[in-house]
Amino acid sequence: MATLPTDKLFKVRNLIEQLVGRFKSVYEPDEVMVVDETMIPFRGRLKLRQYIPGKRQNYSVKIFKLCCSRRYTYNLQAYEGTTEKRVMSIGSTVVMDLCKDYLGQGRNIITDNFYTSLELSYKLLENKTHSLGTLRANRKGFPKEIVKQKLKPGEVIGRENADGIVVMKWSAMKTFQQDAKIEKMRRFINHDSLFWIITQKNLELIYQTNFPGIQHLSENLLGDTTK
């Protein structure tokens, strides 16, 4: 008896690989790259389809993608569900898979809080790649004093470990975690309090100038539901 294919995308796998190969060949990657996801509306019969209550398009196929601020996609993959072979969190696994052809080149990877973690930052640093991203307060390794600290508007608090990973928080924005070795960011160090403060203007600039293009691309894909 013939066995069923384990690859849920086996019918279109070759097409996807050809498209991604073409994407990578016609445009030189930027120094700063962004990992994000797009939800493609779909109500037909498909194992990849997800039901996400509360979303505008609650029946969708999730596509992870590696992009730049110019809205160009270098790599993509569809979410196929959990797998027993995964040894890292799904967010870390997705980022490492999408970025594998661009590691070891000193690039900066921006992620949102679905992907960002200490685990991911370490894996990227091991591959000479820096990271910046919003961070959920319940992530493993997040300093509790950062979470509990109440800040007045404009105040900033942060911590850096021996490996150069900075976790910081300020009242005006979400919490960010970033690799402290991104040279373009100015740092002011208070050795007495051990607070590492990264200028909000520079930190916000890198994040905000790279994510809007990705969000615009996602919005363009949210058209009429496909049956």
pLDDT at 1: 40
pLDDT at 105: 92
pLDDT at 22: 94
pLDDT at 99: 96
pLDDT at 5: 63
pLDDT at 133: 80
Query: Following DSSP, what letter does each residue of 162-212 receive, concatenated?
Result: TTSEEEEEETTS--EEEETT-TTS-EEEETTTTEEEE-HHHHHHHHHHHHH
State the Cα–Cα distance between residues 11 and 76, nearest whole angstrom: 17
pLDDT at 201: 40
pLDDT at 18: 94
According to DSSP, residue 147 is labeled H
pLDDT at 215: 56
Is 61 in a helix, a strand, or coil?
strand
pLDDT at 172: 55
The predicted-structure confidence for 24-83, as pLDDT tens digits, reads as follows: 999 888 888 999 888 888 787 777 787 777 767 677 888 999 998 778 999 999 888 766
Of 108, 25, 97, 117, which Cα lies nearest the Cα of 68? 108
Residues of the chain with pLDDT under 50: 1-4, 173, 183-202, 221-227
State the Cα–Cα distance between residues 126 and 72, nearest whole angstrom: 26
pLDDT at 218: 52
Non-local (6+) Cβ contacts of 5 within 8 A are none
pLDDT at 198: 33
